[in-house]
């Protein structure tokens, strides 16, 4: 497979840096092609703005969606953006690796999503009609590709349990899993989450690598999270609410799981 | 009151720009002191890294938490960070205003949180013991202050309803409300959310301003979201799970509401 690892940690000698190196080696030894977008090393520009379109007139009003669409259609996107899109087209599987900072991805990775996910590429794709609200949530440019999060957190596993104070990890990650990965069509694999990573010794690291290696060996065979497709009949369109006769007692993120 | 508006939109002539101007004028006319952190205009550095500590040795390994702590304790934080912390100390109420991009705040604002929320300032505060797990979730440096989100989204209100495809808006915003605002002690007010903002005409804008004005007039009196305090007896420590005898059938984000 072709595997893209998008990696966001500022320190190469960190636990995340070691896990990144382990991952790349492990995948390559298994015969995969691997590309790494090491966002800090690349000095990735995090903030989406008018400079992301190279042919914009300096005094023109900047419309994030409209300008993204024009730049994508006309091939006038900033080169760093186009290069990441090319990596996404190339990849069969995408891994986003990051430390959980304030219950979400680091800003530099959020800015990768915002800038690389152009209109016409990751959203604004497909027909809009009374029965089909764009190619999204299970359809889209990334359909047929797989994606997985690799996440470290200093918190304990119990803090992210169903009644843990942080909120359940799957709910904390839902906006990323469903809103960033499933939206443009990825099949989303269960995340690989590592807790209490400020307490790491060689034994724990070794065990972690064994467990991670098994997950990496099964990338192609792991069952994705069973999100519901938007345009397959489960939702009323254009309200995009789950049909009244489907699991009528379930609300919230859980309603979008089959 | 002293009110800090942290504002994240790249275009001054945007709807968000107009709403920001309305907000500042409205609050000042009501007699409040207002400071604005216009992150794009300030060219705010979004990515947390080793440069955020001015006295770090260039070849030293960078530990985000450890370096943040030393820089905060020793007064060697990057000046832009110290300045924002001073604004937070000054403020009685903080408003974060942003367009919802990919179901969270824009990268530039996430980077404001990551960099300004230093160890010793917004986390790592207070005693850690068997009965008190740091001053957080209802206690902390921001205790006694209020915070509110002002959020625009192109999606429809139904898409963010209890069974809407995006997930309920209060769940989408929980990691910000609970994990970023309640964590260091803010009382968190219900958000002011504006939907379908790509369809805006003068009548809608005028109605929106009327509604927003009323919310701003009531900042001091609005009842905050009733999150549970971490150290007030509802949670087992150190597991930080809700006590088994409290609403035993409720799981997920909703469990953390009284």
CB-closest option in A40, A114, A164 to B101: A114
Cβ of residue A124 closer than 8 Å to a chain B Cβ: no
Q: How confident is the model over B190-200, as a mean pLDDT?
A: 94
A102 touches chain B (CB under 8 A): yes
Mean pLDDT of chain A: 97
Q: Are residues B46 and B111 in contact, defined by beta-carbon separation less than 8 angstroms? A: yes
Q: What ipTM was reported for this prediction?
A: 0.98
DSSP string, B52-115: GBTT--TTSPP-HHHHHHHHHHHT-B-HHHHHHHHHHHH-SEEEEEEE-BTTB--HHHHHHHHH
Q: What are phi and psi of A180, to 5 degrees?
A: -110, -35
Chain B contact for A164, CB < 8 A? yes
Nearest to B239 by CA among A195, A134, A142: A195
Of B48, B62, B102, the CB nearest to A113: B102
Alpha helices (H) along A75-230: 79-90, 107-116, 169-172, 174-176, 202-217
Distance from CA of B253 to the nearest CA of A (A): 5
Of A47, A162, A240, the CB nearest to B252: A162
A242 neighbourhood in chain B, CB within 8 Å: 163, 165
Cα–chain-centroid distance for residue A105? 10
Percent of chain B with pLDDT over 90: 96
Task: Check A230 against B117: CB less than 8 A apart.
Answer: no
Q: Is the pLDDT of residue B124 over 90?
A: yes
Tell me the torsion sign for CA atoms A227, A135, A237, B202: positive
Going by C-alpha positions, the residue among A101, A11, A46 that lies closest to residue B45 is A46
In chain A, residues 67-96 whose CB comes closer than 8 Å to chain B: none
Q: Looking at residues B198-216, what average pLDDT do you find?
A: 95
Q: Residue A133's closest CA among A229, A230, A243?
A: A230
The pLDDT value recorded for residue B148 is 98
C-alpha dihedral (B139, B141, B142, B144), degrees to nearest 10: 70
A77: its two tokens: 């996107």
Q: Given a cut of 90, is residue B130 above it in pLDDT?
A: no
Q: Which of B4, B185, B25 is nearest to B86 (CA)?
A: B4
Buried b (16+ CB within 10 A) or exposed e, B159-177: bbbebbbbbbbbbbbbbbb
On whether the B2-224 domain is CATH 3.40.640.10, my answer is: no
Q: Is the dihedral of CA B200, B201, B202, B206 positive or negative?
A: negative
pLDDT at A116 over 90: yes
Tell me, yes or no, if B235 comes closer than 8 A to chain A by beta carbon. Answer: yes
Rounded average pLDDT over A35-54: 97
**A62 vs B: CB within 8 A:** yes
Nearest CA in chain A to B136: A165
Residue B132: what pLDDT?
94
Give residue B115's pLDDT: 98
Label residue A58 by pLDDT band (50, 70, 90): confident
| Cβ contact A103–B180 (<8 Å) | yes
Chain B contact set for A61 (CB, 8 A): 11, 13-14
Per-residue model confidence (pLDDT) at position A199: 82
Looking at the DSSP bridge assignments, the partners of residue A151 are A98, A193
Among the listed ranges A10-19, A135-144, A196-205, B93-102, which one has the minimum average pLDDT value? A196-205
pLDDT at B195 > cutoff 90: yes
Among candidates B13, B161, B166 on the partner chain, residue whose Cβ is nearest the Cβ of A179: B166
Q: What percent of chain A has pLDDT over 70?
A: 100
Residues 173-212 of B with CB under 8 A from A: 174-176, 178-180, 198
Structure tokens belonging to residue B225: 């979201």
Of B106, B97, B110, B139, the C-alpha closest to B3 is B97
A240 has a pLDDT exceeding 90: yes
Residue A212 to chain B, least CA–CA distance (Å): 23
pLDDT attached to residue B7: 98
pLDDT tens digits for A76-115?
999 999 999 999 999 999 999 999 999 999 999 999 999 9
**B236 pLDDT band (50/70/90 cuts)?**
very high
pLDDT (tens digit per residue) in A129-162: 888 999 999 999 999 999 999 999 999 999 999 9
What confidence category does residue A38 fall into, taking pLDDT thresholds of 50, 70 and 90? very high
Residue B198 has pLDDT above 90, yes or no: no
d(CA A159, CA A155) in angstroms, rounded, equals 6
* CA geometry: angle A192, A193, A194, nearest 5 deg: 125
- pLDDT value of residue A124: 96
**Pair A118, A80: CB distance under 8 Å:** no
Task: Say yes or no: B60 contacts chain A, CB-CB below 8 A.
Answer: no
Please give the average per-residue pLDDT across B207-225, as a whole number.
Answer: 98
Nearest to B252 among A171, A179, A230 (CB): A171
**Closest approach of chain B CAs to the CA of A20, in angstroms?**
17
Contacts of residue B249 in chain A, CB cutoff 8 Å?
Answer: none
Which pLDDT score, from 0 to 100, does residue B180 have?
Answer: 98
B146-152 vs B93-99, strand pairing mode: parallel
Alpha-carbon span A229 to A225, nearest angstrom: 12
Q: CA of B117, closest CA in chain A: separation in Å?
A: 10
Q: How far B106 CA sits from the closest chain A CA (Å)? A: 7
pLDDT at B104: 98
Query: In the prediction, which pLDDT does B232 show?
Result: 96
Mean pLDDT over each residue of chain B, to the nearest integer: 97
How many Å lie between the alpha carbon of A30 and the closest alpha carbon of chain B? 31
Rounded to the nearest angstrom, the minimum Cα separation between B46 and chain A is: 6
**pLDDT tens-digit readout, B24-48:** 999 999 999 999 999 999 999 999 9
* Other beta carbons within 10 Å of B245: 6
User: Cis peptide leading into B60, omega within 30 of 0?
Assistant: no
For residue B58, is pLDDT > 90?
no
Contact between chains at B104 and A106 (C-beta distance less than 8 A): no
pLDDT of residue B129 exceeding 90, the answer is: no
By Cβ distance, the residue of B117, B162, B179 closest to A252 is: B162
Record: contact A113-B103, CB cut-off 8 A: no
Of B11, B106, B254, the CB nearest to A114: B106
Residue in A closest to B12 by C-alpha: A61
């Amino acid at each position: 497979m072709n595997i893209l690892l998008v990696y966001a940690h500022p320190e190469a000698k960190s636990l995340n840096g070691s896990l990144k190196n382990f991952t790349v080696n492990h995948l390559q030894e298994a015969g995969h092609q691997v590309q790494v977008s090491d966002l800090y090393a690349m000095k990735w520009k995090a903030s989406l703005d008018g400079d992301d379109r190279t042919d914009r007139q300096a005094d023109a009003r900047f419309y994030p969606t409209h300008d993204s669409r024009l730049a994508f259609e006309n091939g006038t996107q900033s080169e760093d953006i186009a290069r990441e899109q090319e990596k996404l087209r190339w990849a069969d599987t995408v891994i986003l690796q990051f430390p959980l900072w304030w219950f979400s991805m680091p800003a530099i990775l959020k800015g990768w999503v915002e800038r690389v996910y152009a209109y016409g590429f990751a959203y604004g794709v497909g027909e809009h009609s009374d029965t089909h609200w764009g190619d999204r949530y299970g359809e889209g440019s990334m359909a047929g590709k797989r994606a997985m999060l690799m996440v470290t957190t200093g918190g304990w596993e119990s803090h992210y349990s169903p009644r843990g104070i942080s909120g359940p990890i799957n709910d904390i990650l839902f906006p990323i899993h469903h809103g960033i990965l499933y939206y443009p069509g990825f099949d989303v694999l269960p995340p690989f989450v590592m807790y209490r990573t400020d307490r790491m010794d060689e034994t724990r690291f070794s065990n972690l690598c064994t467990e991670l290696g098994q997950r990496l060996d099964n990338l192609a065979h792991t069952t994705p999270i069973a999100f519901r497709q938007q345009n397959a009949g489960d939702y009323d369109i254009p309200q995009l609410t789950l049909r009244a006769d489907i699991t009528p007692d379930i609300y919230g993120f859980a309603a979008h799981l089959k």
